[in-house]
C-alpha cells in the first residue's frame, strides 16, 4: 500500500469512517449480502450445484434473467432450451452461473440506488457499461470466463463507487485536487484519503469475501506494449485486471463524451489489444455494441415500469401458476436430456425445482431414506426453508399410521387439500405439526426402488396461498418425473454398492 502524500492522513481512519457511513446509510445497495450468498454457493465444498440453484431461485426476478441470458445467443454453443436454473448450472457450470447471477444482481442493485448522489449515479452508469464491454470482449475470445470478467469490470470501480456514495465531501476534494494538479484520481485519492481508490476497492472486496481473482482484478493494470507482451504472458487474475481496467477506461471515455472520445477509445484499444490477444477493431466493436445494449436495456426498463413492472409481480406468492403443465413438462424434458451425464444430486435438484416452480409451492423438500439410521432425512429444500430447518426434518422409517407412511406404503402421490382440518390432525405426524404446520395443503411424491421406499418429494402451500389442485395430466408428468429420479438413484446404486446399502 502506498503511503499518503500528506503524512497526517491516516488510511485506517479513512476506512473506519467509510464503514461507519455504511452502517448509517445501509449497504450499497445490498452488495455484501448478495456477494456473500452467491460467492458462498460458488465456493462451498458440498452441494455446490444445489446451493447455487437455491440462491438464484430465492430471487424470482434474478431467476428469470439468468434463464433469459443462459438461453441467449452468447451461450448457444452449450445448447438452447434451458428451462430450469438447475439445468443451467449443469450445462454452464456453477462458476459461470455464479458470476452471471452476481453480475445481473449487482447491475440491478446499481440501477436501484435512487438515493445516490449524481456523482455516484454517473459512476454506476460507467460500471454497468464497463460490464457490458467486458461481456462483448469475453464473448469474442476463446476463453470461458466471460461472466467472471463482467463481474470484475462492474466492480473495478468499487472504490470510486463507495467513496462517491458514502464520502461525498472527500470525493469532491479528490476531484478538485485531480483537476487542479492535473493528476490521476488514484493519486489524488492517496493525497486526500491516504490510499488509492483501487486500494479501497480491494479492502472492501476482501472484507466482503470476494474470491482471490476478483480482488486481484480490482487493481489498475497499465497496458504492456511491444516486447513486454511476448515475454510476460498474463496469468488469469492479470487478464481479468487488464480486461476490467480497459473496459472501465473505455466506459469513462464514452460517459464523458467530448470531441476526442473516438480518438481516446482508439488509443485505449491500441494499448490493450496485443496484451489481450485481440484486434483493435474487435475492441472498438465491443464498445459500440455494449453502448447499444445498455441503451436497449434502459428502454426495456422504462417499458417495464410503464407496464406496472411485470417482473416485479413475480415476487408475489401467487400459488400454482396458470401454465403449471407446461413448466412441469419442460422440467421433465430437462431431466430426460441430462439423465445420462448428470449426477444423482443434479437430477434431484432439477426434479425439485420443477415441482417447486411448476406447482407454485411455498416450499419443496427432498427426503431420502437412511437405512443405517432407520430414518427419512430432509436433504434439500427450495422456498421457505431456513438453514436450521432441514436438520430438524427427520422421522423413523418404522411404519406409523400417518399420511406420509401411507403414501410410501402405497407408492402413490397424495394431495392433502386441507391439512388444518380438525378431523385430519390425527393423520399428521408430530414432526410435521412441530415444523411445517403453517401449511394449508401439501403433496407427497414417493420414490420407490425395487419395491422399497428410498425417499419422497414433499411440497406445500402456506395459508396465504389459495388451495391448489393437481390435474390428472399433471399427475402423469409427475409420475414420469419420479421415475427419472429413480433411474438416477438406481444408476448410482449400481456404481456405489455401499451407497445403495445405506438407502434400502
Residue with cell 484499444: 269
Residue of 329, 332, 339 whose CA lies nearest to 90? 339
On the question of pLDDT at 250 being above 90, the answer is yes
What span, in angstroms and rounded, lies between the C-alpha atoms of 167 and 90? 43
pLDDT value at position 311?
Answer: 43
117-316 and 324-503: identical CATH topology: no
The terminus-to-terminus CA distance of the chain in angstroms comes to 59
Three-state secondary structure readout of 25-59: HCCCCCHHHHHHHHHHHHHCCCCHHHHHHHHHHCC
Mean pLDDT of 417-435: 91
Contacts of residue 293, defined as CB under 8 A and 6 or more positions apart, other chains included, come to: 132, 136
Distance of CA 283 to the CA centre of its chain: 28
With b for 16 or more beta-carbon neighbours within 10 A and e for fewer, the 33-54 pattern comes to: ebbebbbebbeeeeebbbbbbb
Residue 415 pLDDT grade (very low, low, confident, very high; cuts 50, 70, 90): very high
Q: What is the pLDDT of residues 121-162, one digit of tens each?
A: 778 788 888 988 988 888 766 566 788 888 888 888 888 888
**Superfamily (CATH) of domain 117-316:** Hypothetical protein af1432 (1.10.3210.10)
Mean pLDDT of 169-187: 90
Radius of gyration of the chain (CA): 26
The secondary element (H helix, E strand) that includes residue 499 is: helix 497-503
Residue of 321, 156, 179 whose CA lies nearest to 247? 156
Residue 500 pLDDT grade (very low, low, confident, very high; cuts 50, 70, 90): low
pLDDT value at position 317?
Answer: 46
Residue 309 pLDDT grade (very low, low, confident, very high; cuts 50, 70, 90): very low
Q: How many other CB atoms sit within 10 Å of the CB of residue 237?
A: 18
On the question of pLDDT at 277 being above 70, the answer is yes
Q: Which CATH class is domain 324-503?
A: alpha beta
Residues across the chain:
504
Q: What is the mean pLDDT of the chain?
A: 82
Residue 312 pLDDT grade (very low, low, confident, very high; cuts 50, 70, 90): very low
Mean pLDDT of 244-271: 89
Domain residue spans of the chain = 26-115, 117-316, 324-503
Distance of CA 355 to the CA centre of its chain: 21
Q: Is 465 helix (H, G, I), strand (E, B) or coil?
A: coil
Three-state secondary structure readout of 404-464: HHHHHHHCCCEEECCCCCHHHHHHCCHHHHHHCCCEEEEEEEEEEECCEEEEEEEEEEECC
Q: How many other CB atoms sit within 10 Å of the CB of residue 100?
A: 26
On the question of pLDDT at 191 being above 80, the answer is yes
On the question of pLDDT at 31 being above 70, the answer is no
On the question of pLDDT at 33 being above 70, the answer is no
Strands (E), 255-384: 363-370, 375-383
**Residue 355 or residue 118, greater confidence:** 355
Strands (E), 288-329: none
Exposure of 307 by Cβ count < 10 A (0-12 exposed, 13-18 middle, 19+ buried)? exposed
Amino acid at each position: 500500500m502506498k503511503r499518503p502524500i500528506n503524512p497526517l492522513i491516516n488510511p485506517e481512519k479513512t476506512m473506519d469512517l467509510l464503514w461507519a457511513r455504511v452502517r448509517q446509510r445501509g449497504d450499497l445497495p445490498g452488495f455484501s449480502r448478495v456477494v456473500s450468498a452467491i460467492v458462498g454457493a460458488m465456493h462451498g465444498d458440498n452441494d455446490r450445484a444445489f446451493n447455487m440453484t437455491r440462491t438464484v431461485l430465492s430471487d424470482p426476478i434474478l431467476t428469470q434473467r439468468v434463464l433469459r441470458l443462459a438461453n441467449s445467443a452468447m451461450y448457444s454453443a452449450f445448447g438452447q432450451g434451458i428451462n430450469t436454473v438447475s439445468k443451467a448450472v449443469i450445462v454452464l457450470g456453477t462458476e459461470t452461473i455464479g458470476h452471471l447471477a452476481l453480475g445481473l444482481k449487482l447491475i440491478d442493485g446499481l440501477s436501484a440506488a435512487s438515493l445516490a448522489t449524481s456523482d455516484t449515479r454517473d459512476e454506476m452508469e460507467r460500471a454497468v457499461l464497463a460490464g457490458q464491454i467486458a461481456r462483448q470482449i469475453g464473448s469474442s475470445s476463446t476463453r470461458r470466463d466471460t461472466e467472471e470478467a463482467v463481474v470484475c469490470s462492474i466492480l473495478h470501480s468499487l472504490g470510486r463507487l463507495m467513496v462517491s456514495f458514502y464520502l461525498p465531501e472527500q470525493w469532491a476534494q479528490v476531484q478538485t485536487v485531480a483537476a487542479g494538479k492535473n493528476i490521476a484520481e488514484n493519486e489524488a485519492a492517496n493525497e486526500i484519503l491516504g490510499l488509492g481508490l483501487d486500494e479501497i476497492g480491494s479492502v472492501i472486496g476482501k472484507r466482503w469475501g470476494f474470491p482471490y481473482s476478483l480482488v486481484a482484478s480490482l487493481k489498475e493494470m497499465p497496458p504492456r506494449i511491444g516486447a513486454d507482451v511476448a515475454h510476460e504472458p498474463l496469468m488469469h487474475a492479470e487478464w481479468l485486471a487488464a480486461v476490467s481496467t480497459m473496459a472501465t477506461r473505455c466506459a469513462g471515455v464514452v460517459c464523458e463524451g467530448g470531441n476526442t472520445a473516438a480518438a481516446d477509445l482508439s488509443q485505449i484499444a491500441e494499448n490493450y489489444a496485443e496484451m489481450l490477444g485481440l484486434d483493435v477493431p474487435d475492441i472498438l466493436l465491443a464498445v459500440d455494441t455494449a453502448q447499444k445494449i445498455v441503451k436497449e436495456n434502459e428502454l426495456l426498463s422504462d417499458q417495464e415500469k410503464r407496464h406496472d413492472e411485470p417482473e416485479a409481480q413475480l415476487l408475489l406468492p401467487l400459488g400454482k401458476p396458470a401454465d403449471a403443465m407446461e413448466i412441469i413438462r419442460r422440467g421433465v424434458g430437462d431431466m430426460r436430456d441430462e439423465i445420462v451425464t448428470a449426477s444423482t444430486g443434479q437430477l434431484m435438484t432439477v426434479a425439485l425445482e420443477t415441482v417447486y416452480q411448476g406447482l407454485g409451492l411455498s416450499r419443496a423438500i427432498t427426503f431420502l431414506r437412511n437405512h443405517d439410521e432407520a430414518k427419512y432425512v430432509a436433504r434439500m429444500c427450495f422456498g421457505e426453508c431456513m438453514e436450521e430447518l432441514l436438520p430438524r426434518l427427520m422421522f423413523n422409517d418404522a411404519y406409523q399410521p400417518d399420511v406420509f407412511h401411507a403414501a410410501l406404503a402405497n407408492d402413490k402421490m397424495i394431495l392433502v387439500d386441507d391439512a388444518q382440518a380438525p378431523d385430519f390432525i390425527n393423520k399428521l405426524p408430530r414432526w410435521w405439526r412441530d415444523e411445517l404446520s403453517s401449511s394449508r395443503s401439501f403433496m407427497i411424491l414417493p420414490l420407490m426402488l425395487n419395491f422399497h421406499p428410498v425417499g419422497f418429494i414433499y411440497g406445500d402451500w402456506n395459508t396465504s396461498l389459495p388451495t391448489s389442485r393437481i390435474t390428472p395430466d399433471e399427475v402423469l408428468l409427475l409420475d414420469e418425473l419420479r421415475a427419472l429420479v429413480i433411474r438416477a438413484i438406481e444408476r448410482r446404486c449400481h456404481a456405489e454398492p455401499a451407497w445403495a446399502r445405506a438407502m434400502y
